[in-house]
Amino acid sequence: MSPRVYTGHCFCFPYLPDGNPHELEKHLRTSLDALTRRIPVLRHVIKPDPDHPDKVCLVPSDNDTPAIPLKVSDERHSFGWTYRQLKSQGFPAKAFVGNSFEFPPSLPAADRGVPMFGVDAKLIDGGLLLINRLHHSVADGVGRTLITNAFASLTRDPSQVLADAPPLDINADLAPDVGPDLPAADLLAQCPEYRLLDAPYGPTIPYLGPPGPPFASIRRTGRIFVVAPHALAQLRQQLAGTNGAKPPSSFTSLAALTWAHVTKARLAAIQDAATAAAANSDAN
């Protein structure tokens, strides 16, 4: 049900100009080993289910291969930006686009499985870029936050004992006849805005009804949006309201903003299509 892709975060830190890459790699590996003890499921890899090509499964990783791959590279003389330049320009998105930021494994071609979680560390002039990637079929934003927070804590002290993580279960207001054993097709039948693809290409996609344009005809253009810290703080406060409620997280606030504008655009497109159809009908 989730895209077969990795979602990534790149954290930028100031770093000693004479930092030792080997010491950095040793410290990060110790932290990641502690992370797999804290979250044992990260010791698994993702493989296509041999009996169901439209599904994936988790299998234990080989003992000879670290469950969480780590790559440390010294790019202090090759990366196109210094930490000072990145910071002075607000860490522009264009600095973090390119082949060096891609995560190579692709699920369909990986016979031995692909990692659930991976980390790259790039030493740049005056800074450190710490990149982590999590496979979307394993967790969403909430799970990613739990893993990232645990990893961050363990990099400060790999020997510490972390508090128990909050449960990932949610209380859903489902009808009594909707149980965990209900077939996926029956569950999807109750969600008319989604449909299951005929081939195992990953996610379900939004269902576009007759009023909407054919999906293949929609021009798709990528965009990167940068939200300034003060604008994000203002958005969180607006969503909290004036009754003293705690502001929602940055993740929740940006998700709400995105869904609000996507819904507005979809409704406008449907209205335009309906108006055009009515005009054609009158003309005929």
Please state whether beta strands 117-124 and 70-74 pair in parallel, antiparallel, or not at all (unpaired). Answer: parallel
pLDDT value at position 123? 94
The owner of tokens 């930490």 is: 83
- pLDDT tens figures, 36-76: 888 888 888 888 777 766 677 788 887 667 778 899 999 99
What was the pLDDT predicted at 82?
94
> What's the chain look like in SS3?
CCCCCEEEEEEEEECCCCCCHHHHHHHHHHHHHHHHHHCHHHHEEEEEECCEEEEEEEEECCCCCCCCCEEEEECCCCCCCCHHHHHHCCCCHHHHCCHHHCCCCCHHHCCCCEECEEEEEEEECCEEEEEEEEECCCCCHHHHHHHHHHHHHHHHCCCCCCCCCCCCCCCCCCCCCCCCCCCHHHHHHCCCCEECCCCCCCCCEECCCCCCCCHHHCCCCCCCCCCCHHHHHHHHHHHHCCCCCCCCCHHHHHHHHHHHHHHHHHHHHHHHHHHHHHHHHHHC
- pLDDT level of residue 13 (50, 70, 90 thresholds): very high
User: 100-114, 232-246, 263-277: lowest mean pLDDT where?
Assistant: 100-114
Quick one: pLDDT at residue 185? Answer: 67
Which of 118-132, 200-214, 216-230 is predicted with the least confidence, judged by mean pLDDT? 200-214
As given in the structure block, the two tokens for residue 206 are 């939004």
pLDDT at 239: 85
Residue 203 has pLDDT above 60, yes or no: no
Pick from 66-70, 117-121, 176-180, 279-283: least confident:
176-180
- 135-190 pLDDT, tens digit per residue, is 887 777 778 888 888 899 999 888 877 776 555 444 445 555 555 566 666 766 66
Which pTM value belongs to this model?
0.62
For the chain, how far is it from start to end, CA to CA, in angstroms? 44
Instruction: State residue 196's pLDDT score.
Output: 57
| Average pLDDT, integer, range 101-109 | 56
